């Protein structure tokens, strides 16, 4: 089981490397890692388990964050509607790739955080508002989905991890809260 002790922090070389694609069909080892990444997210979003295991809450966790340089990431975006239990998006993504994206940018009003970054980095992280994503799931099925707004932002954050990029690389150093016209701010 993955805990906060298994998650490497900024400064470690694996976080800045471009991760290797996994081979298909998936190895048992790659499937197991995907399951463990998802299990961490599920535990981190369960208030009781998160407290018991001392986990920071997360909506995504990529293999490089546990020091494995492979193109695997788990994403678990809970429903924003308190009456809906079904997550907005949940899957383990193997070899994910953005096929297309909107021109419109989007960012989170409160900025982004990261399980591999133990400090607050203020500023807007502008990403694409909508993306079309292709990936393979744990069964080896090729998936193609469209995501928008918060789930799209989360997936782009995770794909950055597979490319050696951290969220604060996107923040405007001179004016962290500067936004171009038309950028959607997601609250």
Catalytic residues: 158
Q: Which two tokens stand for residue 123?
A: 């500023």
Residue 170 marked ligand-binding: no
Residue 101 marked ligand-binding: no
Q: By CB neighbour count within 10 A (0-12 exposed, 13-18 middle, 19+ buried), where does 51 fall?
A: exposed
Contacts 24+ apart (CB under 8 A), 80-85: 80/150
Query: In whole angstroms, what is the distance from residue 130 CA to residue 147 CA?
Result: 6
Residue 161 marked ligand-binding: yes
> Is the Cβ–Cβ distance between 56 and 47 less than 8 Å?
no
User: What are the binding residues for Fe cation?
Assistant: 114, 157, 161
User: What are the binding residues?
Assistant: 114, 157, 161
């Amino acid at each position: 089981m993955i805990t906060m002790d298994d998650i490497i922090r900024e400064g470690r070389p694996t976080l800045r490397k471009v991760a290797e694609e996994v081979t298909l069909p998936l190895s048992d080892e790659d499937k197991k890692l995907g399951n463990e990444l998802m299990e961490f997210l599920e535990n981190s979003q369960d208030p009781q388990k998160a407290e018991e295991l001392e986990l920071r809450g997360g909506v995504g966790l990529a293999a490089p964050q546990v020091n494995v340089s492979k193109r695997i990431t788990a994403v678990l975006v809970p429903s924003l509607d308190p009456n809906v239990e079904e997550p907005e998006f949940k899957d383990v993504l193997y070899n994910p790739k953005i096929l297309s994206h909107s021109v419109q940018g989007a960012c989170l009003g409160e900025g982004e955080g990261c399980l591999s970054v133990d400090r607050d980095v203020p500023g807007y992280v502008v990403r694409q508002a909508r993306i079309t994503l292709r990936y393979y799931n744990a069964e080896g099925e090729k998936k193609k989905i469209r995501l928008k707004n918060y789930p799209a932002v989360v997936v782009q954050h995770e794909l950055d991890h597979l490319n050696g990029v951290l969220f604060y690389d996107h923040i405007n150093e001179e004016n962290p809260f500067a936004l171009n016209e038309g950028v959607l701010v997601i609250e």
